Structure 1
Amino acid sequence: MITKMKKLTFLVYHKEYEAFLERIRELGVVHIVEKQWGEMDDGLQQFMQKRSLYKNMLQAMYNLAEKQPEETVYAGQSADGLVQKYDDLQLQLQDLNQKLPQLNKDIAQMEVWGDFDWDSVNKLKEAGWHIQFYMCHERDYNEAWTEEYNAIPVQERGGYINFVTVTPGAVELGLEPLRLPALSLSELMARKTEMEAQIVATQDALSAFCKANYRTLEQYSIQLEGDIDLLKVKLNSEEKAEGAVVLLEGWIPVDNETEVKDFLDNSGVYYEIRNARKEDNAPIKLRNNAFTRMYEVLTKMYGMPDYAEFDPTPILAPFFSLFFAFCMGDAGYGLVLIALGFFLKKKLSKSLRGMMNLVITLGIFTAVIGAVLGTFFGVSLFDLEIPADLKQFMIVGKVGDTSYDKQMLLALLIGVVHICIAMTVKAVGQTVRFGFKESLSAWGWLLLVVGFVCTGGLSFFKVISEDVSTWAFIVIGGISAIGIYLLNNIHRNVFVNVGAGLWDTYNMATGLMGDILSYIRLYALGLAGGMLGGVFNQLAFMVNDAAGPALGWLFCGLILVFGHTLNIAMSCLSAFVHPLRLTFVEYFKNSGYEGKGETYKPFTVVKKQIN
């Protein structure tokens, strides 16, 4: 649910404003209203750029520190000095890495000619003998060059000949002489060894620098966040009475009203507090129980609700868990998720342990739903020798003598219920926000869809007779048509309403059926995962029978472990993405949820996240 908010407005004497802001920040419960007074302040823009620099640099430093930075913070280091030192080491490493490929290229070129001394070549040149290096295609090589120019082939490779000429003067063969590196092969190899050692040393120096100074830069980044928040608050303040007083607006949760009032009374400032209105763009603070709270991260992925909307998390939580379990469809995989959640909960940082509670919860749902669907590590539980009392709880096989699969119909039934709940939320939400008269169309569609579904279900199970169901359809359709076609907007002409109702009918007829059919993916994904698990089981035991008792069990175990691990990984990915799609598309669309609310972010002292 959404926490109720209070609008807070206060006037502060300009000379006391700085001290007052510091006390407000220490209080840590006031969400300051951000206003646009024009272009971003130059100081704030510089702070934002520096924050981006620190963020990217910290991420790189954390990886270079092998994710194990020292905990010491060095007060004597300046932030600019740390950034400069880091950039110098990176530039030095980048320069060495750029020179190494060229050096390797020179070495590859000189390896053709071997290790010779350039001083000897230069001495021969001073004595009147010119030595030139060439490379040409085999068909272009002239054997006469051997006698005329003392041409000596050095290497033949890939259809090309490398050769050298030794003549009393410079010659022209119609070929361009090669320009070789000025260093010998041994000198180049020595320089490469030295450069590789420099690269290793620079990398070690960079890693040591990151380990030693990560926490220091992190502390500067935290201080910068506080400076940014403070500057934003100042920029969102409005001077009144020719600058004598400063006006500031904010929001506080109802739970903190007494605390804030006591603080403001002691501060001696003028203030006003009122309840948030529907039209106010009040920030959103979610308040849910322990189970629902785990799923708030999914709501935040789409967008926080508007203050006048409903919090979708209480409905999202059970349905997402059900969808996830249906897509996994295997009780054994659910037990693996539970064990994995408890194991990682002890290994991961504190900030990630909450996610493991979600993994454990999803594992519990998967284990229960997987047992109902009759699958355990790809094995059909219904085909095993288990008590009949347990089998009666399993949903497997076909419906009677028909060709309809029970699990497929169950997936469609879940979709119908999910969309009906979404339409109910939409009707109630529009009534709360705009009034009953402005939401007659939503109520009409809700009555039509839910009424037809309930009537059809009662008629199918012979609870009511055909005559009763026929009259029920007529009455429900007639009442719904009034809201859909005649009163969908009481401020418009009735003929315009009829046209708008026909357009809504087309959209509902095409969209609603597609939305319901989308829930077949729950059945399809669960079926695919179960079939793939069964294939790995068959393959493993086929290998066991073929390889004999000793190696057979070894290979059988390896195939089972690898196969089911791979299947769990793929199933988890599908079981997360597709339920999320059913929630974000089918449910949110039919419930009218927009998710454009602003998250409650109190002006407070920025603190380091403890891992």
Structure 2
Amino acid sequence: MITKMKKLTFLVYHKEYETFLDQIRELGVVHIVEKQWGEMDDTLQQFMQKRALYKSMLQSMYNLAEKQPEETVNTELAIDALVKSYEDLQERIQDLNQQLPVVGKDIAQMEVWGNFDWTSVRRLEDAGWYVQFYTCPERDYDETWAEQYNTIIVKENGGHLYFVTVTPEPVGLDIEPLRLPSLSLSELNSKKAEMEEALLQTTAELKAFCKAHYRTFESGNEQLQGDIDLLKVKLNSEEMAEGAVVLLEGWIPEDQEADVKKLLDDSGVYYEIRKATKEDNAPIKLKNNAFVRMYEVLTKMYGMPDYAEFDPTPILAPFFSLFFAFCMGDAGYGLVLIIFGFILKKKLSKSLRGMMNLVITLGIFTAIFGAILGTFFGVSLFDVELPEGMKQFMIVGKIGETTYDKQMLLALIIGVIHISIAMTVKAIGETVRYGFKESLSAWGWLLLVVGFICTGGLSFFEVISKDVSTWAFIVIGGIAAIGIYLLNNIHRNVFVNIGAGVWDTYNMATGLMGDILSYIRLYALGLAGGMLGGVFNQLAFMVNDAAGPALGWLFCGLILLFGHSLNIAMSCLSAFVHPLRLTFVEYFKNSGYDGKGEAYKPFTVVKKQIN
């Protein structure tokens, strides 16, 4: 549900403004209304640029610290100095990484000529003999060069000749002489070894630096975030009475009103408090029980509701769990998720433990629903020896004498229920926001769809007679048609309403059927996962029979472990993505959910979050 909010308006004497901001910041419950009084000032712009830099550096430092930084915080160190040291180490590593390939290229060039001393070559030049280095294809080499220029072939490699000339003066061959590195091969190898050692030492130094100073840097980043929040609040303030007083607006949760009033009364600040209305763009704070709270992250992925909308999370939570379990479709995989969740819950950081609670919950749903679908690690439970009392709860096989699968029908029934709830939410939501008269079209479509489905179901199971169902269809259709075609907008001409109703009918006829058929993906994904698990089982035991008793069980176990691990990973991915699509597309579209609300973010002291 959405927490009720109240609007606060402050008038603060300018000399007391800084103290007042510190007080409400310490209280940490006031969401400041952001206004655009002008462009961002230079200080805030610099702080925002710093925060972007710090955020990137923190992520890199955390990874370099191997996700295990020391918990000590050195308040005497300046953050700018830490940034400079970090950047110097990174720059040195970057330079070494750039120089190593150059040295490697020089080594590759000198390896052809061997390890000679450049000092000897220079002594020959001082004595009047020029040594020049050449290479050319073997077919282009002229044998007369040996007599004319004292050529000495050093090496033949890949159809090319490498040779030198020793002459009293530079020669003028048709090919350009080579420009070799100024260091010998042994010197280049030594230089490369030194650079590699320097790279290892600098990298180790950087990792030690990140481990030792990550928390200090994190603390500085939190302080910077607090300064940014404070500057934003000041920019969102309006000076009045020639700067004598400052106007500030904000929102507080209704249950925090007493604490805020006490603070304001003690501070002597003039203020006004009023309830938020449907027209207000009040920030959204979700308030749900422990089960529903785990699924709030999915709602936030799409967007927070408007203040006048309903919180979709209480409906999203059970249906997403059901959809996930249907897509997984295997009780054994559900047990794996439960065990996996409990193990990681003990090892992961506090911020990620909530996600593990969600994994465990989804595992429980999968284990229960997988047992109902009759699959356990790819094995059909309906075909093994189990008590008949257990098998009667399993939904397997075909519907009577037809070729239709019971699980496929179950997926369609779930889709009909889900969309019917969405249409009900839309009708109620429009009534709350705009009034009953403005929502007659939504109520008409709800009556038509849900009424026809219920009447058809009762008639199919022979609860009511055909005559009663016929009259029920006529009455329901007639009443619904009034809202759909005549009263869909009471402020418009009736003929315009009829045209709009016909257009809505076209959209509903084409869209609604497609939406319902989309839920078959639940059945298809569950069936695919179960079949793939069964294939791995067959393959494993075929190898077991073929390999014999010695190696058979080893290979069988490896295939089962690899196969089911792969199947669980793929099933989890599809079981998350497709239920999310059914929620974000089919449900939200039919419930009229916009998700354009602003999240409640109180002005408070930034608190440290341990990773």
Match of 2:53 in 1: 53
Separation in 2, partners of 1:140, 1:583? 74
Return the offset for 1:33: 0.9
Instruction: List per-residue Cα deviations over 1:123-182 (Å, max 9, x = no partner).
Output: 222333332222222322233333433333333333322222333332223111111111
Return the offset for 1:403: 0.9
Match of 1:492 in 2: 492
Return the offset for 1:96: 1.3
Return the offset for 1:28: 1.0
Match of 1:39 in 2: 39
Residue aligned with 1:530, SS? helix
Give the counterpart letter for 1:465 in structure 2: S
Instruction: List per-residue Cα deviations over 1:13-72 (Å, max 9, x = no partner).
Output: 111111111111111111111111121122111111111111111111111122222222
Residue aligned with 2:394, SS? coil
Match of 1:284 in 2: 284
Separation in 2, partners of 1:477, 1:143? 105
TM-score by length of 1: 0.98
Separation in 1, partners of 2:121, 2:269? 91
Match of 2:174 in 1: 174
Match of 1:331 in 2: 331
Match of 2:251 in 1: 251
Match of 1:153 in 2: 153
Match of 2:227 in 1: 227
Match of 2:196 in 1: 196
Match of 1:366 in 2: 366
Separation in 2, partners of 1:506, 1:160? 77
Separation in 1, partners of 2:471, 2:212? 80
Give the counterpart letter for 2:497 in structure 1: N
Separation in 2, partners of 1:169, 1:351? 77
Return the offset for 1:539: 0.8
Match of 2:476 in 1: 476
Match of 1:524 in 2: 524
Separation in 2, partners of 1:578, 1:141? 70
Moved over 6 A (4+): none
Return the offset for 1:523: 0.7
Give the counterpart letter for 1:264 in structure 2: L
Give the counterpart letter for 2:66 in structure 1: E
Give the counterpart letter for 1:199 in structure 2: L
Separation in 1, partners of 2:535, 2:111? 55
Give the counterpart letter for 1:428 in structure 2: I
Separation in 1, partners of 2:391, 2:75? 68
Give 1:544-559 correspondences, 5 Å limit. Answer: 544-559=544-559
Give the counterpart letter for 2:94 in structure 1: Q
Separation in 1, partners of 2:75, 2:388? 72
Give 1:36-185 correspondences, 5 Å limit. Answer: 36-185=36-185
The reply on whether 1:352 has 2:343 as its aligned counterpart is: no
Separation in 2, partners of 1:280, 1:118? 83
Instruction: List per-residue Cα deviations over 1:266-320 (Å, max 9, x = no partner).
Output: 1111111111100001111111111101101110111111000000000000000
Return the offset for 1:420: 0.6
Give the counterpart letter for 2:513 in structure 1: M
| Greater Cα shift, 316-325 or 595-604 | 595-604
| Greater Cα shift, 98-107 or 251-260 | 251-260
Give the counterpart letter for 2:82 in structure 1: L
Separation in 2, partners of 1:144, 1:468? 115
Match of 1:260 in 2: 260
Return the offset for 1:386: 0.7
Residue aligned with 1:131, SS? strand
Separation in 1, partners of 2:139, 2:476? 93
TM-score by length of 2: 0.98
Give the counterpart letter for 2:283 in structure 1: P
Give the counterpart letter for 1:70 in structure 2: E
Residue aligned with 1:603, SS? coil
Match of 1:316 in 2: 316
Return the offset for 1:510: 1.3
Separation in 2, partners of 1:485, 1:55? 56
Separation in 2, partners of 1:498, 1:22? 60
Return the offset for 1:543: 0.8
Separation in 2, partners of 1:411, 1:300? 26
| Greater Cα shift, 245-254 or 146-155 | 146-155
| Greater Cα shift, 426-435 or 513-522 | 513-522
Instruction: List per-residue Cα deviations over 1:528-557 (Å, max 9, x = no partner).
Output: 111111111111111111111111101111
Match of 1:568 in 2: 568
Separation in 2, partners of 1:160, 1:45? 61
Match of 1:207 in 2: 207
Give the counterpart letter for 1:107 in structure 2: I
| Greater Cα shift, 100-109 or 192-201 | 192-201
Match of 1:299 in 2: 299
Separation in 2, partners of 1:571, 1:12? 58
Match of 2:187 in 1: 187
Residue aligned with 2:259, SS? helix
Match of 1:8 in 2: 8
Return the offset for 1:114: 0.7
Give the counterpart letter for 1:530 in structure 2: G
The reply on whether 1:423 has 2:432 as its aligned counterpart is: no
Match of 2:608 in 1: 608
Residue aligned with 1:483, SS? helix
Give the counterpart letter for 1:153 in structure 2: I
Give the counterpart letter for 1:43 in structure 2: T
| Greater Cα shift, 151-160 or 75-84 | 151-160
The reply on whether 1:458 has 2:496 as its aligned counterpart is: no
Return the offset for 1:2: 0.5
| Greater Cα shift, 235-244 or 542-551 | 235-244
Match of 1:447 in 2: 447
Give the counterpart letter for 1:421 in structure 2: I
| Greater Cα shift, 80-89 or 413-422 | 80-89
Return the offset for 1:262: 1.6
| Greater Cα shift, 424-433 or 159-168 | 159-168
Residue aligned with 1:133, SS? strand
Give the counterpart letter for 1:444 in structure 2: G
Return the offset for 1:244: 1.5
The reply on whether 1:239 has 2:239 as its aligned counterpart is: yes
Instruction: List per-residue Cα deviations over 1:461-500 (Å, max 9, x = no partner).
Output: 2222222222222222221111111111111111211111
Separation in 2, partners of 1:371, 1:287? 33
Give the number of aligned pairs. 611
Residue aligned with 1:608, SS? coil
Separation in 1, partners of 2:446, 2:151? 96
Separation in 2, partners of 1:111, 1:119? 18
Separation in 2, partners of 1:149, 1:450? 102
